[in-house]
Structures are given as C-alpha cells and as structure tokens.
Structure 1
Amino acid sequence: MHAQLKNMIIVAGLLLACAGGMAQATEPDARYLDVMDMHGMPASPVDRSFNIFFDAGAWHGYSLPPKGDEGTGFVGPFVHSLGDGRWAGKQFARLVLRDAASHRDIPLVPIESHAAPGYLVRRFVSPDVSVSQILFFANSWHALVRVEFKAARTMDIDVGIVGQVMPDEASHLATHDGEVVQTFAGSPSVLSTSLHTDTANAGHVTLARADYRIDLNRSLHLVPGQTAVVYVDQMLTYNPQSDKPQAANVVAAWAHNRERWAGYLASLSSYHLAGLPDDTARHVAAKAMITLLGNWRAARGDLHHDGVIPSYSNPDFNGFWAWDSWKHAAALASFAPDLARDQVRAMFDYQAADGMVPDCIYLDKSGNNWRDSKPPLATWATLAIYRATGDKAFLSEMYDKLVRYHRWWFAARDHDHNGLAEYGATDGTAIAAKWESGMDNAVRFDSIAMQKNGQGAWSMDQESADLNAYLYQEKLDLAEIAKAIGKEGDARQWLKEAAAMRKAIQARLYDPHRGYFFDARLVSNDLVRVYGSDGWAPLWAGAASAEEAAHVVRVMLDPNKFATYLPFPTLAKDDPHFSPVNGYWRGPVWLDQAYFGVAALRRYGYAKQADDMARRLVLNARGVTTQAPMYENYDPLTGQGYQSANFSWAAASYLLLLH
C-alpha cells in the first residue's frame, strides 16, 4: 500500500477511535497493557517458545500474531488437554470484509495490537470502516472474539472469518448446523467454531483440508456513530460423553469479563514494598496475577475442582501438584478466593483413607503419583484463605481433612517415633522420597538410605529441618483454625503439641557451633551439615529462639553464602556442589524458598534486612519488572531465569512477597 494512503487511513481510523467507538469497548487500564509479550506463531504443533493467553480456567489458549504481521485475527488455539498440549490451529478469526454494494474487498491496516489483563485486542482501519477484535473468555468453555465495526458512512458489508488448523494428520474438520467442528485422533475432545450476530447464529461454512471459512448469511448494516458487533465463538469440549458445557451469553459476556478482571485488579493497591515504587510493585503483582490465572484450569476429566497447573510452558506440568497448590492458594486468596478454595479442594478430592494426599493429580487419574506426598503446607494455605475472606465454613469443611493429613505424617513418616518426621515414600525408593521433599536433587539427600516403617510406608534415614518446621507451623495453624470454629479443646491440644515440637526442633536440628539448622541422621544422630534454604525454615515457622535466629540470620546475610546478587539460593554459594545454572536444587534461587527467607527475617524483627532482600528479588531477577515471563528458578549470581517459563509458584511467591 502506498505510504501516503496508508497514513491517511491511519489518521481516519484514529479519528474514528477518538469519537469513542473502540475505546469505549475495551476500557483498558493502560498501566497494565502488554505486561507480557503475547506475540508468536508456532513452528510445530508442540511449540511453546512464546507466551499464550489463557483465562477463566479454559483449556484452550491463544496468542497475538508476530509483530509486523498485518493480517487480522489471532493465533491458535493451543489445546492443553490434547495429550501434554498441542496447537490445534495456527490462525483464528481472520476477517474477510467486502463492501456489499460495490462487491469490493475492504483492506484493513493494523493500528495496534495489545495483550491486556483478561483479553487480547487488535484494531484496524480503512477509509470507511474501523474495526476492533477483542478476544476474551466468557467462561472455561468459550473463547469469544467480539468484532466491533464503526463506519464513516452508511454502508452494508459482508463479513466472513477464516481459520487455519495446524497441518496435522491428528485432526479432522467437519461442519454441523453452521459450525465448524474439529475432532482429534485418539481424543474425544471437540473444538467447535461459530460466527453470529447478537441476535442469531448465522453462517455458511466452506471447508478445505487445513482451513475453513464462515460467512454471515446476510450483510451487516453500518450507520455512522453506531457500533455494530459480530461474535466468533470457539468452544472446547473435553469429553462430549460426560461434559455439560456452560452456555455463553455472548452479549453479556464482555461486561462480565470486565467486572471480573476489575475485581482482580482492584486488589493491586494492596501490593507494596518499602523502597520500591508502588507502580513497580503493582506491575510485578499484575504480571504474577496474569501468570497464575493463565495457568488456571477448570475441572475436567478426573480433576474434580478447578486449580492451577505449574506452567503451560512445560509439557511435564499438565496437572496439579500438592506443594505447588498450597502456594498457589495462599497467593490467590487475596484476589481470587473462589479459585484458591477450589485449588485446595482439588488435591483433597484424592485424600487416601489413611490421610495421605498424593504428589500430583491429572485429567486421567491413572497417572496420579501415589509414590510420595509433598511438604505439608495445606493448613497454612487454608488459613491464608480464611484470613483473606473470613470464611469459617471453609475452615469447617477442611478441618478434619487437614487433621488427617497432619496425623498421617507422624504415622507414616516418623521412623523412630520421637515426634520429628522424615521425608519418605510409599514404594521404598530414594527417588520418590526426594520428590516428597520437593527438592529432588538437594545435596543434603546425596547419601540417604531408606528405612521401612510399615506396609507402604518408608522414611529417609534423616529428619529434615524444613519438614519439621512446616509440621510445627501446621500445629499452630490447626490451633488457630480449631479456635475459629469453636473447637477450644482441640486448639489447646495443638498448642501443647507445638510447644513440645519446638523444643525437639531446637534440641535435635540446631547446631550451636555453626549457628544453623540442619537435617539429622536417624542412627548416628549426626547433623547433615549442608547449608541450604531448608535451614531458615524454622525461622519462617517461628520454631527458633531469638538467639538461634540471630545466628541463622548472620548466615543468611553472608554474601559468600546466601546474600548473593539475587539472594537466597537453595545451596550456599561457597558449597563445592554449588551449581547456579544447571543445579536445579543445588544453587539456583527458587522464589518460594526466597520468600520464606524474607518472611523468616520479618518474623524475628529484621525488617530492614527483609526489605533489602525483597527489593533485590524484585529488581535483580531479569525481566521481572519488564515483559519477560516469571521462571521456575533463577541464577543467584546474574539473575537470569531458567527452567520453565510462566511458573506459577514463582508468581505466587512474588504476590506473597509484595502483599
């Protein structure tokens, strides 16, 4: 297109936008536009090298086309419930417009393309018509594109959309009642696409091998000063045999989406960190919210409640994990409490008769991992939800389940019955026991042996400082819950048990010569003197004396150990096994452990030091304050992110850090 004509079209479109049509429809909070870069195009069905927009628990997501792509529409969908997740389409909702009087195509010039909280938006102009496409989720089943038209003159236009599926032998296109229906080999899932106005479904469908077209069956009448709207609806049904998809009210859906997201964003005013500009704190919090809600998946298949997966960017993480779930729920409590409650319920749906909660659960329960559990933070998460909501009914619902889970640890994981527990496994393997710790390859576990406690119950031969700190905190939290729901006798018993456990932790796991908490061997009683992040867990829980805490804090603030450029690595910098890039749990910074470190400092009155470490966690992690996704872990020496992008518990930890 000639540059002068293009500029004239852009000016005309901007004038139309200023008249109120498009701006009124989207109402974006400009501070949070493009918090994350959502542009990309898959090079293969399993390409996850860029960010994808999900919301409302949907199992299908979309992206903006690559920058410089002047075509209309969006990229997708990515269907997360197909195996480990795959792209079912490359192009979605591309517009085909024609002047009904002249029968000439209407070329559109893009003027902007954005990712905003809760939607993607693209805007286009021609000399006569301005168009906006807003992609959002009406609910977990329906992705909608609201296509808005404003004309500079009275005219009729013919409207069609084109979609391109991923060229793949695994899918098949058909048509049914004016919809395009896409099915997939080896899966019962169905993706259906329709085009309609606010009054009726309408469309003539044309199919090809790898693309489809749907045209409105009558022209759209445009009048200056009025907005005409057409909707594209793409619905994913996981299993038509059992699912009962919720309908989408396409006319009301956009307003409901805006109301829901306004609720989320309203909580941003409560995110703050001393010495950090509030705009920066809220930008990071907004990104963290978008990350968590982007990993939200609704109940489907054998997942009976909604929850949050660890990361859509990693094909290994297509389910709910227990340890992750507790952290997600604690962070969600302050802005999405309904999802927080369901996240906890989802894991306890699978609580065993003996009280155990499995490591992870999936759409197909045959893949659930019962070889181990995960560190006990469920009560902490439940109490966080109560503190945010005042919901005593949820406490009553969960109390007995939490008690059974807590008691299970001492029944199945206290080999010598001394009141301190060990990580372990149901199958006697060391690898499953390490998984149960959540710190799979931590140096402190390099020499463990397994001890049998009973049928299907094994322990490592060492008591862990973090595990027992979590269990101590659970007793305190169970006491608070019991008191809140009127179980005064239970509350007194929990406090009595907590006092005894606090003494045992100090006597057994604290090294007065080194001023740090360590794991302890069962048989030899020797301490496993590896300086790891587990050593400050007793401070996070309040299990240390003030004197012990002062010594631990000295270690935490030593730049040769844990006060690194990005602070609080999982292994001390001066350890010979320190491996900050490829070490996984042998040196990288994991944000949950770093958050616990900051909270530990605060609990014992080291507020200034806590603020300093927290600011470094925000400012020195590369990309956290800009557009980069939040990563699974980070290099403590450079701040570079590694492993899985869009990692939920990193996002949850930043929310907890800033709230």
Structure 2
Amino acid sequence: MRSLIKPLLLAATMAVAFAAQAGQPAAQYQDLLDFHGTPRTAADRSFNIFFDMGAWQGYSLPRAGDAGTGFSGPFVHSLGMGQWAGVRFAALALRDADGKDDIALKEVASHAVPGALEREFSANGLDVRQTLFFADSWHALVRIELDASKTRDVELAISGSAMPLPGSHLASDGAAVTQGFAGSLSTLTTQLHADGLAADRVSVSGYAYRIVLDKPLHLEAGKPVTLYVVQTLRHDAHAEPPAIDYADAWDANRARWAAYLKSVAASHLDGLPDAVARRVAAKAVVTLIGNWRAARGDLRHDGVIPSYSNPDFNGFWAWDSWKHAAALAWFAPDLARAQIRAMFDYQAADGMVPDCVFLDRSGDNWRDSKPPLATWAVMQVYRATGDRAFLAEMYDKLVRYHRWWFADRDHDHDGLAEFGSTDGTRIAAAWESGMDNAVRFDGAKMLKNGEHAWSMDQESVDLNAYLQREAAELAQIAGVLGKPQDQRQWQAQADAMKAAIQSRMYDAKLGWFFDAKLGKPDLVRVYGSEGWSPLWAGVATPAQAAAVEKTMMDPHKFATVMPFPTLAADDPHFSPIKGYWRGPVWMDQSLFGVEALQRYGYTKEADAMARRLVLDAKGLAAGQATFRENYDPLTGNGYQSQNFSWSAASYLLLLRMDANAPESPQP
C-alpha cells in the first residue's frame, strides 16, 4: 500500500510547492475535495456540497461533462433533514445586442478553492468567470465578470430551475423570484444585481425561472464588468437578513479564508512533508467550515454539525461540539466559542447538558448527556486566544456540569462516576458514553440513583479520566480567575480521582486500564481504546504507562495498519468494517492515543502512529477523499458518514501537537 502512496504524496507535494511559488495562497489548496455533482432527486447526497459562513443552503459544481453555466443547487439543509430545493442556479445566457446571435460559451475550467466555487468560460473575444461564495449566513452570491477583447454590447439573462418538490412553488415578486415550501415558513429569493441596471423581465414557468436585464451591457475592451446573482434563504417569513455590501463582499471572503489558511502553516508532523501536513489540515478546515451552521430556529448560537452528508446529523451534538471547538479555537475562535455556547444554552437547572439540540427543540435528546470534554474544549480556546473573559463566562456553567455527573451518575458515592441515562434504558446509557455498542457494555445492567437518574453498574475508566482532567483544568481556570479556594478544592478532587483510577481500574497483570464493576472487585476486562484515556489525562503512573504503551504498540492489538482501533484486533468481537464501536478506528480516540504516548514521553512511537493515521487513511493525504466517520484499521478504508467534522478536527489537532499539550494557563 505504501509503495503506491509515496509517489502520490510526492506528486501532491510538488504541486503544492509549485502553487505556493506561483503566489497563489488559495490555489495551492485547489480541489481538495471534489464538489462536482448534479442532484437527481431531492434527497441525493452522493456528492460533496459547498457551504460557508454558517449558511443553511449549499451548492456544487455541475457534474463532470456538464459544460452548462451556473451551479447545482441550492441544497437547503433546514428543510426537514435537508433536501435539494434547486437543480441549477445562476445559469448565464448571452446574446450579441447587434446581430442578436446567441454567444456560445465554452467551459475552460471549473474548480473549488477554499471559500468559493469557480467556473471560467470563453467565446470569441469574451472571457466570463462565475464565482460562487457567501457574503454571510443568509446570502449566496455568484460574482459574474465579463471581460471583452473588443468593445461590444451584449444582452444578458440569468436562469435557474427548482427541484419539483411537493407543495413547492415559484413566483415572481417585482425584480425577484421567490420559492416557497409546503409546511415551512422558509423562503428562497433570487435576484440579479448590476450597478445602474435593473431586471426588466422576471418570468416563471413551472419550476423554471428567467431574469433578464432591462438593457444591454456595454463592454469596453479591457475593462471588465461585474454583476451578481444573489440567493437569499430566510428560515422563516419574519426573518430580515442584513444588507449586502457588494463592493467589499468578495475581498472580505478572501481575507477571511486567508486568515483560516494562515493557521494551517503551523501543521507539522516529524517524518511527514510539511506540504502534505498542510494539505490535510487545509482539507480539515474546509470540512469544518462546510459543516458550520448559523443560529436559526431554536439554535441560539452558531455551531458545527457532525456531517451534512448524513441526514441524521442535522443538529449539534455535545461531545462532537467539544471536539469541534478544540480545533476551531486555532483558526476560528469566535466560532469555537459559539459552538460551546450553543450546547450550554440548553444546560438544565441541575447542570446537565443534553446529548443533542436541533432547529426545532422538540427533537432535542434529554435521555442522556455525552462524555465531559467541555472544560478541555474551553481550555483549548483559552490556550489559543488567552481569552480570560471566556473562562469567566464559562466557569460556573462548567462547574455545574461537572457536579451533575457526581450528583446523578455516582451510584455508590465513591467519587467515581458511571455512564447512565435519565429514562433508565441501557441504550441511552450507552449513547451517553458515545461508544454506543462497545463490547464493554454488553453485560451492563441499570441501577436507579434517583428520579430521572440511572447508572450502568460499572464505573467507566474513560469517563473518570475525563472527569479527573476536568477537575485539574477547573483548578487551573480557578487560578486564572483568582479563586484560590476553588483552585485548592478542584486540585484535591483531581488528586483523589487520580489515586482511585490508578488503584481501582488498573490490572497490573494485564497492564491495561479497564472499567470497574460496582459493588465487586471485578474489572470489565475488554481491551478497548478507553484503556489509554488515563494516559491522555495524565493519571497513570510511569510504570502503568509503560505497560499500556507496550500493549498499544502491539500489532496484534492496537498498532494496526491504521492504528488505535476502538477494540483490540485480537478480540473475538473485533469487527473492523461494520462493528461501529467494536473495532473501527475513530479519529478522536486515535488522537487521544497519540497524545497519551506524547504525554508520557513516547514521542518516537507517537509520531510513527500519527504518520500512519495520515498516510494510511485511503485517499486522505494525496487524493480527494473526504474525512470519514470511522476507518478500517486493517486497510485504511473509510466508512459511515463522509465529511465528518470530528475526524477533521482530530486531524487538525494531530498535526499541531502544540495545541494539545496540557499546559497550565498563567493568571
């Protein structure tokens, strides 16, 4: 496999280096993902879709071989669980104003660059460029530039076609085309903007529309003319989008993306060409921003969804959010803060944070929470920005959430918690772990702690490692905020939990950390990725860490082709393709595994495993493969959802280990 990868990586490296020398900061990351596709049905998610600025509508380049002008779309993510509302947007028709002959535009190129889709066409003496980008979370713009080699007048029309959705309808509204949807207050408005010109005729026929300028465009030789097609999505009829600054919109887009990509320069992994590391990091940035959704409906802050490619993921999930925020902190800190706030907007009076929240709050899941990585995420924002005010804003909320775990999820009140649920069901308790069908939960039973509070009958090692690190980081935050008494109390709890995890959850004969059964001295002896979480948290003794490292580096268990599966490869339940949490590689757990090795000084081993994660994920480093929900540890093939945000976030953090070091913030 690597004999094939290395030539591809060399070619990719040379292409990136050439583009960088040519002075094209965005072009060096051209076509990181393939955005070509034309929807065949309203539910078609078989190709990638371009989103930016938190917009709930997205677009694609037409499928390869379709040389017609314009773009595919829009896909409206806020309609149900997402569907295509349009087939073609901003198709361009030109006619010579004198001879009235149609001008046949020939496609020259179609590309995706970070932050935009670009198409170029030519005809005799005329060059046309269409660039689709977002001015904000409401407005998608197509910037049309016409450049003539000789002075001429041309007539211009814009056309588009809607997806024939039941109950959907097009109508003309003055100089605009509006599209409504059955059972929804959302509307889509399409307009043509050209300085000094107005739309003369707006016509609608069935699911097609056409907008024609009131008079010909006068093109002077060598003096490009620019106009815009604007598509605005209102989530409800009462929404009032902001005005567009056409003069500055494109420059603002380029400046924002240049800032995002500047952060990519910090990506580095020993033994991997920096150009390759930066390409993977840039793809991760594109993926995370592509899954950004603005505050709408019952979502009060912006955030990042797990994946637009999966109709089940049209909302914000708690532990996904913590991972997204940890990576966003290093290139989009405002969005990172919003992502964290979006979940804490729904914190309950008892401190619980729900599993997930949606545009319509009736779909929110309160049956369980998710692993407590919120303080880790807040600390990442602090390390990246030095934002003390954000620490102050979040401190009490983090404290309430931390204490909730021990109030509702510590059945025997011994200072170690269990995963559980609010409804007493084991399935919701498994969801709360994030590892839904993990083998370690196969024999778990539910115990009632109180009204709407249940625990599994085992103390999970990863949960308590997360809680221990959370207590230690709450101590750090308290120190920054000038709360010395709180700092001492949190550090005392962290120390107590550290000792308890070392003594209660470690098997010295097997050299691994396991979940512990309640009321018994027994351990749940399943070799899973949770076993290295105490190293990630800094809980293990050096001797314990040495034993865990040995097992992690065993090729029969965890040092697989693509390393650190969620279940040891020699376990009889190991299922690397369809096992979900019973064997595939999940990048968050692999990231934590690399960080665990780094934390205890196993730098060489950590770097070797990190390189495998980059190089052995099929198509990720050199091709156009998307980030997948999980991977086959034996082949590197990706499975489940495409364009998966926490995988993108994990790779970003993997490629900048300075972001992950558990440093103590200074007051």
TM value normalised by structure 2: 0.94
Aligned to 1:372, which of 368, 374, 379? 368
Over 3 Å counting, the alpha-carbon distance change for 1:601 and 1:203 in structure 2 is farther
In the alignment, the residues of structure 2 paired with residue 552 and residue 244 of structure 1 have an alpha-carbon distance, to the nearest angstrom, of 57
Moved more, 553-562 or 168-177: 168-177
Unpaired stretches in structure 2, ≥5 consecutive residues: 1-22, 657-667
Do the aligned residues in 2 keep the contact of 1:198 with 1:251 (CA within 8 Å)? Answer: no
Report the 3-state secondary structure (helix = DSSP H, G, I; strand = E; otherwise coil) of the residue aligned with 1:644: coil
Over 3 Å counting, the alpha-carbon distance change for 1:522 and 1:144 in structure 2 is same
Partner of 1:93: 90
Amino acid at match of 2:274: D
Q: For residues 475-494 of structure 1, what are the structure 2 equivalents within 5 Å?
A: 475-494=471-490
User: How far 1:656 moved relative to its partner?
Assistant: 0.5
Over 3 Å counting, the alpha-carbon distance change for 1:28 and 1:200 in structure 2 is farther
User: How far 1:247 moved relative to its partner?
Assistant: 2.0
Aligned to 1:42, which of 24, 28, 39? 39
Partner of 2:505: 509
Partner of 1:151: 148
User: How far 1:277 moved relative to its partner?
Assistant: 0.2
Question: Is 2:193 the counterpart of 1:191?
Answer: no
Partner of 1:537: 533
Moved more, 353-362 or 474-483: 474-483
Do the aligned residues in 2 keep the contact of 1:451 with 1:458 (CA within 8 Å)? Answer: yes
Report the 3-state secondary structure (helix = DSSP H, G, I; strand = E; otherwise coil) of the residue aligned with 2:185: strand
What are the Cα deviations for residues 540-596 of structure 1, in whole angstroms up to 9, with x where unaligned? 000000000000011100000000000000000000000000000000000000000
Question: Is 2:463 the counterpart of 1:470?
Answer: no
User: How far 1:198 moved relative to its partner?
Assistant: 3.4
In the alignment, the residues of structure 2 paired with residue 560 and residue 233 of structure 1 have an alpha-carbon distance, to the nearest angstrom, of 56
User: How far 1:268 moved relative to its partner?
Assistant: 1.0
Do the aligned residues in 2 keep the contact of 1:198 with 1:250 (CA within 8 Å)? Answer: no
Partner of 2:322: 326
In the alignment, the residues of structure 2 paired with residue 600 and residue 195 of structure 1 have an alpha-carbon distance, to the nearest angstrom, of 55
Q: For residues 428-447 of structure 1, what are the structure 2 equivalents within 5 Å?
A: 428-447=424-443
Do the aligned residues in 1 keep the contact of 2:197 with 2:214 (CA within 8 Å)? Answer: no
Do the aligned residues in 1 keep the contact of 2:150 with 2:222 (CA within 8 Å)? Answer: no
User: How far 1:485 moved relative to its partner?
Assistant: 1.4
Do the aligned residues in 1 keep the contact of 2:567 with 2:581 (CA within 8 Å)? Answer: yes
Do the aligned residues in 1 keep the contact of 2:444 with 2:456 (CA within 8 Å)? Answer: yes
Do the aligned residues in 2 keep the contact of 1:198 with 1:231 (CA within 8 Å)? Answer: no
Amino acid at match of 1:375: P
Question: Is 2:275 the counterpart of 1:252?
Answer: no
Aligned to 2:284, which of 264, 285, 288? 288
Do the aligned residues in 2 keep the contact of 1:194 with 1:201 (CA within 8 Å)? Answer: no
Q: For residues 296-445 of structure 1, what are the structure 2 equivalents within 5 Å?
A: 296-445=292-441
Question: Is 2:649 the counterpart of 1:652?
Answer: yes
Q: For residues 612-651 of structure 1, what are the structure 2 equivalents within 5 Å?
A: 612-625=608-621, 626-651=623-648
Do the aligned residues in 2 keep the contact of 1:632 with 1:642 (CA within 8 Å)? Answer: yes
In the alignment, the residues of structure 2 paired with residue 201 and residue 287 of structure 1 have an alpha-carbon distance, to the nearest angstrom, of 40
Partner of 1:112: 109
Partner of 1:55: 52
Aligned length in residues: 633
In the alignment, the residues of structure 2 paired with residue 201 and residue 217 of structure 1 have an alpha-carbon distance, to the nearest angstrom, of 6
Identity of aligned residues (%): 65
In the alignment, the residues of structure 2 paired with residue 651 and residue 421 of structure 1 have an alpha-carbon distance, to the nearest angstrom, of 30
Partner of 1:23: none
Do the aligned residues in 2 keep the contact of 1:307 with 1:325 (CA within 8 Å)? Answer: yes
Partner of 1:19: none
What are the Cα deviations for residues 489-509 of structure 1, in whole angstroms up to 9, with x where unaligned? 211111111111100001110
Runs of 4+ with deviation above 6 angstroms: none
User: How far 1:244 moved relative to its partner?
Assistant: 2.8
In the alignment, the residues of structure 2 paired with residue 314 and residue 285 of structure 1 have an alpha-carbon distance, to the nearest angstrom, of 22
What are the Cα deviations for residues 184-229 of structure 1, in whole angstroms up to 9, with x where unaligned? 0011100000012135653421111011001111211101111101
Report the 3-state secondary structure (helix = DSSP H, G, I; strand = E; otherwise coil) of the residue aligned with 2:265: helix
User: How far 1:341 moved relative to its partner?
Assistant: 0.2
In the alignment, the residues of structure 1 paired with residue 617 and residue 521 of structure 2 have an alpha-carbon distance, to the nearest angstrom, of 39
Q: For residues 563-602 of structure 1, what are the structure 2 equivalents within 5 Å?
A: 563-602=559-598
Do the aligned residues in 1 keep the contact of 2:26 with 2:258 (CA within 8 Å)? Answer: no
Partner of 1:609: 605
User: How far 1:331 moved relative to its partner?
Assistant: 0.2
Unpaired stretches in structure 1, ≥5 consecutive residues: 1-25
Partner of 2:20: none
TM value normalised by structure 1: 0.95
Amino acid at match of 2:123: S
In the alignment, the residues of structure 1 paired with residue 174 and residue 481 of structure 2 have an alpha-carbon distance, to the nearest angstrom, of 54
User: How far 1:27 moved relative to its partner?
Assistant: 6.2
User: How far 1:230 moved relative to its partner?
Assistant: 1.1
Aligned to 2:456, which of 453, 457, 460? 460
Do the aligned residues in 2 keep the contact of 1:144 with 1:250 (CA within 8 Å)? Answer: no
User: How far 1:29 moved relative to its partner?
Assistant: 2.3
